[in-house]
């Protein structure tokens, strides 16, 4: 039965952090492995985790379910590249029971698109309705340069498979100075012409990537100012549960999102926590403080220790991140790679 505000009384109360923010969105990395080596995300010669350190699919299910029982309403599976994890569809199918019961509003996935042609139909069958696909350029050669190992034609075939399956696609593009900044207007027109939203993301100081991020960093405030010479941008209240601020591009009729951890952080409304594939809970993407949930998972078949560890960790979620990129501070703000934490 619904109360006057429309909230279901049967729903568990959300996890609430020290600053009164309800944690309703969980992002879970199911693997640190990827079939790309994007220049802003990974070193080319990556050393991946041993199998024993990575949570099993059953442990991932149990962990996600514990958060759902505590009021998380949105679950996003990420990586690395989540669709390269062996038998990953069994996890999607298992988690769909929380969609069927109404305990979850949605399960989504962030992918590089390389495996979409294979898995799009199965994702839809497991209850997934929206996906994020990371594409930073429409230039085949430049795509190969950015991803090192990627094949743009294969990703485009995956997008077509997603469309046929009925999946709503949002394109994510990291804005990279001197690399794709001049392509952004064309990417907007392409994405909107295909019926996709497009979100631009500022590069973040995560992990050692064999390069100087000051050479990559492109403030989206600068990008927006440039786009306004070509497009009419109207701010809109559209939200997907994540940090993007959206606007309508009047000329295309499509939506453009901006994720700006550097120029305009979104910490005041943060409703998210992240879990790595090893079971480390990070309360903030830009802080090193974490909680070891794998130990609690493996210490007991029951969830009492796990629930206690979750509650204790949320109780110290920080107010905001410490990201900075400048010529004087070239070291990453945190040492772990984005592929470890999850996109």
Q: How far apart are the first and last CA of the chain?
A: 36
Nearest Cα residue to 64 out of 101, 33, 107, 109: 107
230 lies in some domain: yes
Q: Could you list the residues known to form a binding site for [4Fe-4S] cluster, using ranges.
A: 34, 38, 41, 267, 270, 284
What tokens were used for 245? Answer: 């601020």
14 lies in some domain: no
Segment 15-72, tens digit of pLDDT? 988 888 899 999 999 999 998 888 877 777 778 889 999 999 999 999 999 999 999 9
Segment 101-145, tens digit of pLDDT? 999 999 999 999 999 999 999 999 999 999 999 999 999 999 999
CA distances from 46 to 37, 87, 322 (A): 9, 23, 25
85 lies in some domain: yes
Q: Could you list the residues known to form a binding site for S-adenosyl-L-methionine, using ranges.
A: 40, 80, 134, 204
Crossing angle between the packed helical segments 140-147 and 152-165, to the nearest 10 degrees: 100
Please state the domain count of the chain: 1
- The CATH number of the domain where 318 resides is what? 3.20.20.70
Mean pLDDT in residue range 275-301: 90
6 lies in some domain: no
Range of the domain at 32: 19-341
Q: State residue 300 phi and psi, 5-degree precision.
A: -155, 150
5 lies in some domain: no
* Other CB atoms within 10 Å distance of the CB of residue 163: 15
- Adjacent-strand bridge partners of 246: 257
How does DSSP classify residue 327? T
Say how far residue 304 (Cα) sits from the centre of its chain.
28
11 lies in some domain: no
- CA–CA dist 79, 343 (Å, integer): 7
208 lies in some domain: yes
Question: ω before 80 within 30° of 0 (cis)?
Answer: yes
Q: Could you list the residues known to form a binding site, using ranges.
A: 27, 34, 38, 40-41, 76, 80, 110, 134, 170, 204, 267, 270, 272-274, 284
pTM: 0.85
Q: Could you list the residues known to form a binding site for GTP, using ranges.
A: 27, 76, 110, 170, 272-274
CA distances from 166 to 44, 90, 95, 258, 318 (A): 34, 20, 19, 25, 38
4 lies in some domain: no
How does DSSP classify residue 267? G
């Amino acid at each position: 039965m619904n109360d006057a505000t429309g909230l279901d009384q049967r729903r568990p109360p959300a996890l609430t952090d020290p600053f009164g923010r309800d944690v309703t969105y969980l992002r879970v990395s199911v693997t640190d492995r990827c079939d790309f080596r994007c220049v802003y995300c990974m070193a080319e010669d990556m050393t991946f985790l041993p199998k024993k350190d990575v949570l099993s699919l059953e442990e991932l299910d149990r962990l996600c379910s514990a958060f759902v029982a505590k009021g998380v309403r949105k679950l996003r599976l990420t990586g690395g590249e989540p669709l390269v994890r062996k038998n990953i569809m069994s996890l999607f199918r298992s988690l769909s029971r929380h969609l069927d019961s109404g305990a979850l509003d949605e399960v989504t996935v962030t992918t590089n698109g390389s495996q979409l042609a294979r898995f799009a139909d199965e994702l839809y069958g497991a209850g997934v309705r929206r996906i994020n696909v990371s594409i930073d350029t429409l230039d085949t050669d430049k795509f190969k340069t950015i991803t090192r190992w990627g094949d743009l034609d294969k990703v485009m075939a995956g997008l077509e498979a997603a469309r046929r399956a009925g999946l709503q696609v949002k394109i994510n593009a990291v804005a990279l100075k001197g690399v794709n900044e001049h392509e952004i207007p064309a990417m907007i027109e392409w994405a909107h012409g295909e019926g996709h939203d497009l979100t631009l993301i500022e590069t973040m100081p995560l992990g050692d990537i064999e390069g100087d991020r000051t050479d990559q960093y492109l403030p989206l405030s600068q990008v927006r100012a440039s786009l306004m010479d070509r497009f009419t941008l109207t701010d809109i209240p559209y939200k997907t549960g994540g940090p993007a601020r959206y606007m309508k591009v009047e000329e295309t009729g499509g939506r453009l999102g901006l994720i700006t951890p550097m120029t305009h952080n979104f910490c005041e409304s943060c409703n998210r926590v992240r879990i790595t594939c090893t079971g480390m809970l990070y309360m903030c993407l830009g802080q090193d403080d974490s909680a070891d949930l794998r130990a609690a998972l493996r210490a007991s078949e029951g969830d009492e220790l796990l629930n206690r560890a979750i509650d204790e960790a949320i109780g110290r979620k920080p107010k905001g991140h410490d990201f900075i990129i400048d010529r004087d501070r070239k070291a990453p703000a945190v040492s772990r790679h984005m592929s470890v934490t999850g996109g």
